[in-house]
Chains A and B, each alone.
Chain A
Amino acid sequence: MMILQTLRQGPRHGYALAQDIKRTSHDLLQIEEGSLYPALQRMLKAAWVDAEWGVSARNRKVRVYRITPAGRQQLEREVSSFERMLAGIARVMRTAES
């Protein structure tokens, strides 16, 4: 979900993607950068993203990932189910407190 959300702001290569997620979460999320790649492959297989070879800002050959229309739909689905889950948790926490 975070990967798709980040990609919605524009195509990125793997490292930039990892950096963006880390930066926007203010280092709160300590995920291994490597775990990005199996996830990206799954998304490629599901055709939520596509990838093509491009060059990075440092002129290095990198694979640039781009979100597809199917990916946008998936993102909307995931965001809405995530929000429902969050609302559910929040409600349980409030009830437990009172």
Chain B
Amino acid sequence: MNWIRNAMQRRRIEKAVAEDIEAHLEEKIADLVESGVPDREARLTARREFGNVLLVAETSREVWGGPGWSGSPRTCGTAPARAHAGADLRVLWRARARAHLHRTLRQHGLRRRAPVPKRLVFASPWEPCKPIVVRMVLRESLTVAALGLVIGIPLTLALSRLTATFLFGVKPNDPLVLAAAILTMFAVCALAGYLPARHAARVDPMIALRYE
């Protein structure tokens, strides 16, 4: 249960830091606007004087644990060894997510041979780009799934005589069962693709590049 608590605490800190920075910028913008600076310029000035928002947020969060949020020994509670193993896994997971993001960005760029990666990486804000990354990764994993089906279906049909002897009440080549199996597999593949993709998309490219 420790990792759930850690994850929740991490979310809370991330949210608090983000809201804190947001409030800071808004206050500053309001101050500048009041002193007669045009709105757009006020926004730019506030951002410039603040520094790199993403970097600040990431460093603030890292204070509470490494990039993978290892948690302090105090919060590890009664099972420090297990908690640390979990922390290591999460570090790996994040590193993988970063590597994956970087790779997909690069592949995406190579495929188009245009300044796409630049646009992707330096687009501000990063939010609108996230679905692109998620879709890219999802497409990849579903392609693999489809390939598996192309191979799998004829194989299933061929072997159905054999499986019929194992299963009770299932006709060989029952279309309903077959369809259900295919659907389940697709759902699992989609989920298996979507979750890491979402994780990868959550990592900001600027931060991902900083870790390279």
Residues of A bordering B, CB below 8 Å: 13-16, 18-19, 32-35, 37-38, 40-42, 45, 51, 56, 58, 60-63
Q: Is the CB of B63 within 8 A of A60?
A: no
Bound complex: CA of A18 vs CA of B24, how far in Å?
A: 9
Q: C-beta contact mask, B13-40 vs A, less than 8 Å → 1, else 0?
A: 1001101110110111011000000000
Query: Closest chain A residue to B49 by CB distance?
Result: A33
Contact between A14 and B20 (Cβ–Cβ < 8 Å)?
Answer: yes
Given the complex of chains A and B, what is the CA–CA distance between A36 and B49 in angstroms? 12
Flag if B50 contacts A41 (CB, 8 Å).
no
Q: B51 touching A63 by the CB < 8 A rule?
A: no
Interface residues of B in 29-71 (CB under 8 A from A): 30-31, 49-53, 55-57, 59-64
Residues of chain B with a CB closer than 8 A to A42's CB = 63
Residue in contact with B23 in the complex, picked from A34, A38, A40, A56, CB distance below 8 Å: A56
A-B contact pairs, 19 of them (CB 8 A): A13-B23, A13-B27, A14-B21, A15-B23, A15-B24, A15-B27, A19-B31, A32-B50, A34-B52, A34-B53, A37-B21, A38-B60, A40-B60, A41-B61, A45-B64, A56-B23, A62-B20, A62-B23, A62-B27
Interface contact A33-B23, CB-CB below 8 Å: no
Give the number of residues in B that approach A within 8 Å (Cβ atoms): 28
Q: Which residue of A lies closest to B54 (CB)?
A: A34
Chain B residues, Cβ within 8 Å of A56:
23, 27
Which residue in chain B gives the minimum CB-CB distance to A33? Answer: B50
List of 6 A-B pairs having minimum Cβ-Cβ separation, nearest first: A34-B51, A32-B51, A34-B56, A41-B63, A15-B27, A38-B59
User: Do A34 and B50 touch (CB < 8 A)?
Assistant: yes
| CB atoms of A58 and B30 under 8 A apart | yes
Which residues on B sit within 8 Å (CB–CB) of A40?
Answer: 60
Whole-angstrom CA separation of A60 from B27 in the bound complex: 8
Task: Give complex CA distance A95, B2 in Å.
Answer: 58
User: Once the chains are docked, how many angstroms separate the CA of A92 from the CA of B53?
Assistant: 40
* A42 and B101 alpha carbons, distance in the complex (Å): 30
Checking B16, B26, B61 against A63 with a beta-carbon cut-off of 8 angstroms, the contacting residue is: B16
Residues B53 and A14 in contact, CB atoms below 8 Å apart: no
When chains A and B are docked, how far (Å) is the Cα of A37 from the Cα of B16? 11
The complex places the Cα of A10 from the Cα of B31 at a distance, in Å, of 21
Contacts of B51 in A (CB 8 A): 32-35
Tell me which residues across on chain B come within 8 A of A35, comparing CB atoms: 51, 56
Q: What is the CA–CA distance of A45 and B20 in the complex, to the nearest angstrom?
A: 16
* A60 and B23 contacting across the interface, CB-CB below 8 Å: yes
Q: Given the complex, which residues of B lie within 8 Å of A15, measured CB to CB?
A: 23-24, 27-28
B52-A37 in contact (CB<8A): no
Q: Nearest Cβ distance between residue A68 and chain B, in whole angstroms?
A: 17
Smallest CB-CB separation from A30: which chain B residue? B49
Q: Which of B19, B27, B50 has the most A CB atoms < 10 Å from its CB?
A: B27
Which residues of B have CB within 8 Å of A38? Answer: 56, 59-60, 62-63
CA distance A28 to B51 in the complex (A): 18
